[in-house]
Amino acid sequence: MTGSLTLQTVAAEDWPRISAEFRDLTYEQTLTYAQAAARRIGAQAQFVTLSDQTGRPVAAACLRLKLVPGLGRGIVWIPAGPLVHHETTPQTLEAVFTALRTYAEQSGHILRFRLSALSARNVPSVDQVAAGAGFVPTDRASHYRTVIVDCEQDEDTLMRALHGKWRNPLRNALKAGMELETGPITNLFGRFSKLYEQVQAAKGFQPDIPPEFYYALSGSDFEHDILIARKDNVDIGAMTIGYTRHNATYLFGATSDAGRRLNTGHFLMWQAVLYCQDRGLKWFDLGGIDQDTNPSVTRFKLRTGGVDTMAAGPFEARQSGLGTGLINLAETLHRKLKS
């Protein structure tokens, strides 16, 4: 592709239709989630397309803009975006990044983004493309490594792909007589919360965004369901998954002591893969891994037979000058106060 792209703001009500055309869409770029996530931090959600000379959108992004009070400038964050078509060439990808950098230059904002892990991009190649468009790597946004399961495989193929030390506990779990109950978050969040709070109290962890944030989310472009494992009419494990038109993501899970003895985590993860398969979804993102902070969960997810995947980015474009310095200072102070 030659020539520049046109960046155009689109109405929020049009975003579900536009974003659904991209196979790398995850819940983070949905209208339902993005608007709520922006409100949570006092930011604004804006939606843009990047179109070629024929007017065809070759990329799209939900921007979360948080302004520094009194400055009129701030930080734009694009999580799991911009959305790009699978067949997008490196030349077109550079044009997309260049258009975003131009937007940052003209607006005076610092702009950061991290591509969706589902974009199937070679990370070193994207690093080069981003550098060519004027972006640099940044440690002011989080990296994202995860495991992704291809749900279009048949059940036998999925079973054969499991690591032996994962498959054997799963087979035991499937023989343990557990029952599976599924339904939307609005109907089952009370039962999930009870299990989750028990595990949270025992382990003493606190997620940055708690499950409660998701309970009230409702929209046509973001479904949020719960899977509950039961034994002898008692809930012993549960997990929540969020999904879009093409893809799903594991969000939260909780297993009681009795559930752990029955390998309920294996049971629920397997059932979640089949659940996505039944709904015609392409990819199931197992929700991120971190070998340093949580090696046991990392090992558990890597043994599912999914693909160990690193999302490209995060990258950043910033301008020189007093405005950028003030934005950086405000962000640093905010992080110190938060911590």
How much is the average pLDDT of 294-307?
97
Q: Is residue 325 part of a domain?
A: yes
Whether residues 252 and 320 share a domain: the answer is no
Residues 329, 295: one domain?
A: no
Read off the pLDDT of each residue in 100-113 and give the average, rounded to a whole number: 95
Q: Which amino acid appears at position 124 of this protein?
A: P
Identify the three-state secondary structure at position 21. Answer: coil
At position 212, the amino acid (one-letter code) is E
Which tens digits make up the pLDDT trace of 7-66?
Answer: 999 999 999 999 999 999 999 999 999 999 999 999 999 999 999 999 999 999 999 999
Same domain, 134 and 225: no
Dist. CA 76–CA 112, nearest whole Å: 6
pLDDT for 1: 47
pLDDT of residue 339: 63
Cα 116 → chain centroid = 7
Quick one: what percent of the chain has pLDDT higher than 90? Answer: 84
Q: What is the mean pLDDT of residues 301-308?
A: 97
CATH number at residue 40: 3.40.630.30
**pLDDT of amino acid 122:** 87
Q: Which residues pair with 285 in a beta bridge?
A: 148, 249
Compute the radius of gyration of the chain from its Cα atoms: 21
Is 87 within a domain?
yes
Segments forming the whole domain that contains residue 129: 6-143+312-338
pLDDT of residue 121: 83
Residue 217 lies in a domain: yes
Averaged confidence pLDDT in the chain: 93
Same domain, 88 and 205: no
The pTM of this model reads 0.93
List pLDDT tens digits, range 184-232. Answer: 999 999 999 999 999 888 887 788 899 999 998 989 999 999 999 999 9
Q: Is residue 110 part of a domain?
A: yes
pLDDT of residue 9: 97
pLDDT at 329 over 70: no
- One domain, residues 290 and 172: yes
Whether residue 20 is found in the same domain as residue 73: yes
Q: With respect to residue 79, please indicate whether it lies within any of the assigned structural domains.
A: yes
Which residue's structure tokens are 């948080």?
A: 66
Could you give the 3-state DSSP secondary structure of residue 112? strand
91 assigned to some structural domain: yes
Is residue 294 predicted with pLDDT exceeding 70? yes
CA distances for 70 relative to 319, 323, 326, 327, angstroms: 19, 11, 11, 11
Residue type, 230: R
Mapped onto helix, strand or coil, the DSSP state of residue 243 is strand
Does the pLDDT at position 330 exceed 80? no
158 shares a domain with 291: yes
The total number of structural domains in the chain stands at 2
Distance CA 261, CA 237 (A): 11
Distance CA 44, CA 35 (A): 7
For the record, the structure tokens of 216 come out as 């009230």
30 or 338, greater pLDDT: 30
**Residues β-bridged to residue 48:** 9, 61
What is the residue-wise DSSP string for 52-75? -TTS-EEEEEEEEEEEPTTTS-EE
Note the pLDDT of residue 190: 96
Relative orientation angle of helices 123-132 and 90-107, to the nearest 10 degrees: 50
User: Do 169 and 300 have their domain in common?
Assistant: yes
Whether residue 221 sits in one domain with residue 332: no
Counting beta carbons within 10 angstroms of the beta carbon of residue 62, is it exposed (0 to 12), middle (13 to 18) or buried (19 or more)? buried
Residue 166, pLDDT score: 98
Task: Tell me the C-alpha to C-alpha distance, in Å, between residue 168 and each of 206, 245, 274, 308.
Answer: 31, 32, 18, 21
> What are residue 237's phi and psi, to 5 degrees?
-170, 155
Position 1 in a domain: no
Those residues with Cβ within 8 angstroms of residue 279's Cβ, 6 or more apart along the chain or in another chain: 243, 248
The H or E element containing residue 158 is: helix 155-161
Residues 119 and 14 in one domain: yes
Do 99 and 189 lie in one domain? The reply is: no
pLDDT in tens, 273-292: 999 999 999 999 999 999 99
In this structure, are 34 and 71 located in the same domain? yes
Q: Which two tokens stand for residue 127?
A: 């690093």
